[in-house]
Amino acid sequence: MRRVRHHPALPYVKIPAFMEALRAPNGISARTIEFVILTAVRSGEARGANWNEIDLGTRMWIIPVQRTKGGKEHRVPVSERALAILRKMQELRQNDLVFPGSKQGRPLSDMSLLMLLREFRPGITTHGFRSTFKDWAAEMTNAPNFVSEAALAHVVADKVEAAYRRADLFERRRKLMDAWGRFCTRLASDVVVLEHRRG
């Protein structure tokens, strides 16, 4: 049986404060991490993002099949803050990569993101933010589990369920990701008040 590897994750109540701090640095690494969090994608998918995959007009990013873990094209709804990041990166465009690395024609390395994360939150990984999103969706929204699973581009293990669930639930996922984007960009003090009320 294959063991599931758990990546260290930031509790979702700490995300707004983390995102506030992350907006301070001007570097590409900070924008990439922010984009990873807002889209709940895998780090490599964001680092390898190409401008021909992005449609700013419809706020959609299509990750081609050859770049996904599940071997299936993944349409990603882009929230308002994620769109603002893309527009900023477009102003700084060097080549076809949305988040270019220091070497010409090469994307950012995973290590460049990890080094920045170590400055902010030692022990946290970019992949862990997917767990953060999942926890938030489960505890703070009414979205069915299968919608957040689709947002994470998880492969449906049950063959019968997979046969029936062929749609990618894009519009339902857009609502969820827009809500996630709003949560991520709200003031940290608002979240503290919210948590106090829940307790």
pLDDT at 91: 93
Residue 191 — pLDDT band, cuts 50, 70, 90? Answer: low
Backbone angles phi, psi at 54, to 5 degrees: -105, 135
pLDDT digits (tens, 9 = 90+) for 91-106: 989 899 999 988 887 8
Give CA–CA dist 84/129, Å, rounded: 20
What does pTM read for this prediction? 0.86
pLDDT at 106: 86
Q: Is 90 exceeded by the pLDDT of residue 158?
A: no
Across 54-80, average pLDDT: 94
Q: Is 50 exceeded by the pLDDT of residue 121?
A: yes
Lowest-confidence region among 3-17, 45-59, 99-113, 118-132: 3-17
Give CA–CA dist 84/66, Å, rounded: 27
Q: Is 80 exceeded by the pLDDT of residue 2?
A: no
Which domains, and CATH codes, for the chain? 12-198 (1.10.443.10)
Residue 62 is classified by DSSP as E
Give CA–CA dist 111/12, Å, rounded: 23
Residue 160 — pLDDT band, cuts 50, 70, 90? Answer: very low
Q: Is 70 exceeded by the pLDDT of residue 157?
A: no
Lowest-confidence region among 11-20, 21-30, 38-47, 166-175: 166-175
Whether the CB-CB separation of 15 and 183 falls below 8 Å is answered with yes
pLDDT digits (tens, 9 = 90+) for 124-142: 899 899 999 999 999 999 9
Across 72-90, average pLDDT: 95
CA 87 centroid distance within chain: 17
Across 18-26, average pLDDT: 90
Q: Which residues pair with 77 in a beta bridge?
A: 60
CA 138 centroid distance within chain: 16
